[in-house]
Structure 1
Amino acid sequence: MTGWRLLLTRPAEDCAALAQTLAGEGVFGSCLPLLDIVPLPVSEKIRQAMARLQRCDAVIVVSKPAARIALDLLDDSVALTMPWFSVGAATAQILLEHGLDAHFPVDGDDSEALLQLPRLREAVSQPGAQVLILRGEGGRELLAERLRERGASVEYLELYRRDLPAYPPQELSRRIAAERLNGLVVSSGQGFEHLQQMAGDAWPLIAQLPLFVPSPRVAEQARAAGAQTVVDCRGASAAALLTALREHPRPVF
């Protein structure tokens, strides 16, 4: 895989960790975080939803920021015995370290894999099962849709928003040219929206670079916006990205 030079766009802490992992595999990663995680004010809606946690049949946490913020809001005096679920292992590890009964799919890294998880199927097997999904603003609509089809009652609780950090004009184009980058990586639909926003008038040129995305939904979004070579990694983890890089030869410019 030596020869890939990728723009990494995750939030700063995750971006640095991904760059380090890629470096160990001979892949250069340039960090330009396009998602700044901003916790939402603790509203009465958030307080009430957290107070109802113990009545849930399942709690789904869609990201590491959602896990960290939720854990800060938990009342440690309340026993939480319901199963918790996440798409990826890293989010599950945060929950496990807090002593929660956390589960994640080991054979996938997306909503579809989570929906096939036997423990989740069991948790929502009773009609009217109560499911709470902890997330940022927007995203993971497929989860609620499919769970409702199974008869579950699903509620979203949004705990943070994802802002675009402030950068100088043309910083994206400058970075790509200065570091001779030959691929782009986004971890979510909003990350892609921020990428396109930063590109501005240079988007038609930047859209020619291979773009690695975490899911079919984001792949469809990117293609509709004009991205010419979109690779669906079927997950946002470093392992999923590395697998995709092995399967796709680097471009020669």
Structure 2
Amino acid sequence: MLLLLAPESRRACSTREPTRFFNDFIMTRLPLPPGEGRGEGIQQCNLHGLGVLITRPPHQALPLYEAIKSNSGKPVLFPTVEITSPPDPALYKQQLENAANYDDLIFISPNAVTYAIADIAITRQRIFAIGGTTANILQQYHVQPLLPTGAKADSESLLASPLLGDMQGRRVLIIRGNGGRALLGDTLIKRGALVDYAEVYQRRCPDIDASLLLQKWPQEIDAVIVTSNAIIDNLLHLCHNNPVVLKTPLVVISQRMLKHAQERGFQQIQVAAGAAEPELLDTLCHRWGDNRDADVVQK
């Protein structure tokens, strides 16, 4: 079972009528490309046919799809954000070509690496990554990022590290998508850094008709995985704040997302240790699998 649809922040979501309809495509089984993704070898538990809605963009969803399927779950794809190049890539390419002028480069996401790595000049700079997946992708390009020891891989943990303590006079380039969080850059500026941004990709909310998804939801969807506040907002926008969505257990990846999900009206929320496939699968297994926590009540 696999479903393709998609969004990212309430601001990004279109209010016009959907221009694309995926109803003929939804709920059909799609063959995965051979060797695609990293999830099929992850064996943790038996999910007993748990229907899990995956909201990642299509190009990032296959590893998690494979991981859930390999553990006897039923993944359903509903991408809630589109990742594309900016309208004018020349605006950031010169920044990347001049990256040698910076002391520190901070990659905010896996997409930041994917869209920037071919153009960026990496020489003597310190390299940082937000998130374990971002770090892994950098390593695939033979770039070793600095990671705070034992810290959760997010902006708050990076800022708490001594690595970014004394920033007086240091030039920092933050590589990200459009409209990212201001916390990291603003804090570094307060610590004396000179901060620039290279916005190398943009997130868009697609025009999608979710009517068939909502029709199938009570029978097919037992849990939803989301990895950003914007994805939460887009999901609710596309599903018109349907109560069946809000009643479905939600898996998030941070306390910040937990708070946002509660504010948006979700009633059952699990917090995963991170956004990587093993961490998300571990949360599913402890909530619904054979090794579920004894004090967790099944849905």
In structure 1, the partner of 2:256 is: 217
**Secondary structure at 2:117's aligned position in 1?**
helix
Q: Do 2:63 and 2:277's aligned partners in 1 also have CA atoms closer than 8 Å?
A: no
Q: CA deviation at 1:136?
A: 1.0
Question: Aligned-pair RMSD on alpha carbons?
Answer: 2.5
Q: Larger relative contact order (C-alpha < 8 A, sep ≥ 6)?
A: 2
Helix, strand or coil at the partner of 2:174: strand
Q: Which moved more, 1:232-241 or 1:99-108?
A: 99-108
Residue 243, structure 1, aligned to residue 285, structure 2 = no
TM norm structure 1: 0.84
Residue aligning to 2:30: none
Q: Which moved more, 1:227-236 or 1:127-136?
A: 227-236
Q: CA deviation at 1:243?
A: 3.2
User: Is residue 200 of structure 1 aligned with residue 244 of structure 2?
Assistant: no
Q: 2:230 aligns with which of 158, 178, 190?
A: 190
Secondary structure of 2:282's counterpart equals: helix
2-structure distance, mates of 1:220, 1:94: 29
Of the candidates 99, 110, 130, which is equivalent to residue 53 of structure 1?
99
Quick check: 2:107–2:176 contact (8 Å CA) kept in 1?
A: yes
Q: Quick check: 1:110 aligned with 2:150?
A: no
Q: Kindly state the Cα deviation for residue 247 of structure 1 after the two structures are TM-superposed.
A: 4.0
Q: Relative to total residues, which structure has the larger helix share, 1 or 2?
A: 1
Number of residues of Structure 1 aligned to a counterpart in Structure 2: 245
Please tell me whether the aligned partners of residues 246 and 265 of structure 2 are also in contact (alpha carbons under 8 angstroms).
Answer: yes
Q: Provide, for residues 127-175 of structure 1, a one-character-per-residue CA deviation record: whole Å limited to 9, x for no partner.
A: 1211111111123333223323433222222122222334334143134
Identical-residue share of aligned pairs (%): 28
User: 2:135 pairs with 92, 95, 104, which one?
Assistant: 92
- 1:37 maps to 2:78: no
Distance 1:86 1:183 in 2: 29
1:105 CA displacement: 4.7
User: Is the counterpart of residue 168 in structure 1 residue 209 in structure 2?
Assistant: yes
CA distance in 2, matches of 1:200, 1:82: 46
Asked whether the equivalents of residues 184 and 211 of structure 1 are also in contact (C-alpha less than 8 Å), the reply is yes
Could you list the per-position Cα deviations for residues 202-253 of structure 1 after superposition, in whole angstroms to 9, with x for gaps in the alignment? 2x22101111112222222221111112222242222321333344357645
Equivalent in the alignment of 1:139: 180
In the aligned structure 1, how far is the partner of 2:153 from the partner of 2:250?
18
1:148–1:154 CA contact under 8 A, matched in 2 = yes
Alignment-derived partner of residue 12 in structure 1: 58
Distance 1:32 1:239 in 2: 20
CA displacement, residues 98-131 of structure 1 (integer Å, 9 cap, x when unaligned): 333423356423223333455x33xx63412111
Contact 2:67 2:281 in 1 (8 A): no
Contact 1:216 1:234 in 2 (8 A): no
What amino acid does structure 1 have at the position aligned with 2:284?
Answer: L
Q: Decide whether the 8 Å contact of 1:111 with 1:140 is kept in 2.
A: no
Contact 1:110 1:235 in 2 (8 A): no
- TM-score in terms of structure 2 length: 0.72
Gaps of 5+ in 2: 1-44, 289-295
Question: 1:18-43 CA distances to partner (integer Å, 9 max, x unpaired)?
Answer: 11122233433211111111110335
Q: Which amino acid aligns with 1:220?
A: K
AA matched with 1:191: I
CA distance in structure 2 between the aligned counterparts of 1:79 and 1:62, rounded to whole angstroms? 16
Partner of 1:157: 198
Structure 1, 33-42 or 168-177: larger mean CA deviation: 168-177
